[in-house]
Structure 1
Amino acid sequence: MFTIHAIDPGTLESVRGKGTDVSGNAIEAVVAGGGEPLRCCLRDAVDGERLILFGYEPVLPPSPYREIGPVFAHAERCDGPAGTGYPDGWRGRSQVLRAYDARGWIHPATRVHDGSDPEGVLAAILREPAVVRVDSRNVAYGCFMFTVTRLHD
């Protein structure tokens, strides 16, 4: 079993409040054309929604594999994801499932999947004892989508 994590609401509030991302770059105000993947609530944007685009650095230990990439979120605080399971609207979307170990290094369990049976693929990756998290990333752009961690008993 596992849980899916969107970008932390506190991180989003900080970015919105400061108007800059982790690199000090100004966030960009965007009006959705529809289909932009929102990392605040893990769904695609609807045409006309007010969004921000900014550089995000997933929380990893210091390592050579830390990176910053562009993400979309609502311009104003939203209710967040509908649950902690795989986002229904993103089923069938090809993704890179990048596995990481406790050092923040990419683990060989990383794979590209076609979007079918994401729970099965994630469960198989998380069965690897050294894997502590999996970041889902967009295939075409490489952007961070969400993080997956094991549920702890």
Structure 2
Amino acid sequence: MGLIKFVAIPTEEARALQGGERDAYGNPPERLISDGDGVPCRHCLHNVQAGKPYLALAYRPFPHLQPYAETGPIFLCAEECARAEESDVMPEMFRASTEFLLRAYGYDDRILYGTGAVTPKQLVCTHSHELLQRPDVAYLHLRSGRYNCYQCRIERA
């Protein structure tokens, strides 16, 4: 058993959006066709295959509105997909990237200042474990190192 786990968005949220629920900005998700390059589904944690439909939408990975509750674009498979299993192994779809933004959040869902860092891919697991050793850290966000897009949560295993 590992020390950390990569956690995809909840199935209930994915199904609601796949079923037509409006996104965090109140808009219907945009339905597009994948070219097979750089369309990572935040539920199954796989890239959407070329020719398959996907959704582009605004997502807020926080339970309540508050000043630190960032909203940004994500992709989802347009059709129902199986949620990625929680694992200490970095999902394959992230392995093509060279760096990520890791940021820690407290139990009040607010950023813990001084924890955000652009982190080389090979150090993500180690740095995540280090951050999660802090008693004030509830969870981490793994975000794109280039665009700041939400990728998944990282929690204690």
Answer whether contact 1:109 1:128 (CA < 8 A) is retained.
no
Aligned partner letter, 2:110: W
CA RMSD of superposed structures (Å): 1.7
Structure 2, gaps ≥5 residues long: none
Whether 2:93 is the aligned partner of 1:89: answer yes
Aligned-partner Cα distance in 1 for 2:65–2:28: 24
Answer whether contact 1:133 1:149 (CA < 8 A) is retained.
yes
Where in structure 1 do 4 or more consecutive aligned residues deviate above 6 Å?
none
Report deviation, 1:105.
1.7
Aligned-partner Cα distance in 1 for 2:77–2:143: 19
Greater Cα offset, 125-134 or 83-92: 83-92
Aligned partner of 1:130 in structure 2 is 136
Length-normalised TM-score, structure 2: 0.87
Report deviation, 1:62.
4.6
Return the match for 1:106 from 99, 104, 111.
111
Length-normalised TM-score, structure 1: 0.89
Answer whether contact 1:63 1:103 (CA < 8 A) is retained.
no
Q: Pairwise mapping of residues 32-71 of structure 1 onto structure 2 (< 5 A)?
A: 32-34=34-36, 35-60=38-63, 62-71=65-74
Q: Percent identity?
A: 26
Residue deviations 1:85-127 (CA, integer Å, cap 9, x gap): 3213313521101110112221122211011132111111111
Residue deviations 1:37-87 (CA, integer Å, cap 9, x gap): 210111222211210111111024553110111100100111221552321
Greater Cα offset, 98-107 or 75-84: 75-84
Answer whether contact 2:144 2:151 (CA < 8 A) is retained.
yes
Aligned partner of 1:3 in structure 2 is 5
Aligned partner of 2:123 in structure 1 is 117
Structure 1, gaps ≥5 residues long: none
Whether 2:150 is the aligned partner of 1:147: answer no
Aligned partner of 2:30 in structure 1 is 28
When residues 133 and 82 of structure 1 are mapped into structure 2, their CA distance, relative to the original with a 3 A threshold, is closer
Aligned partner letter, 1:73: L
